[in-house]
Structure 1
Amino acid sequence: MSKDQFSALLAVLVPPIVAQITKNSNVNEAKVIGCFYRSKLYAELSDETSKLWHYSPLTLYTMYQDELLIGSYDYPEET
């Protein structure tokens, strides 16, 4: 995948994750965006070789919540 294609993929994946976080928290979207972009999950997600981009936005949201609550997350098993 080219760098431009990967950037476009992130541009599609991130907004629904941010929307879900905002919907389920009492934090405004601007703060949610900043926190998400500083997260370990986003750092991994933005590295194409991590392959996190193939998970759904809902799965990535759940992983982010785990990071916030317990400081880490597990990679879901694929079926």
Structure 2
Amino acid sequence: DDMLNICFGNNFVYFYIGKGSSKLSLIAKSHQNSYMWLFGEQAQNAFCLEKNDPLLDIKILALFRLFDMSLSEVILGKITL
């Protein structure tokens, strides 16, 4: 975290996909601007997904498309974070 702050200031975003109860999720949860897809937990600024959802595959593909488009727009300078 310190190294990212030195390199980028506060101009970086964590992206996390996984269980909300995982220790790895704490890194993304500790930053307000994280991009999270959490399984089995609701959190602020996160998409909540249920692992038993029959449409889970479709939802993940739709979210990936949204992520890809938003990343492209940031890289091209059309939007700022």
Greater fraction of residues in strand: 2
TM-score, normalised relative to structure 1: 0.29
Greater fraction of residues in helix: 1
TM-score, normalised relative to structure 2: 0.28
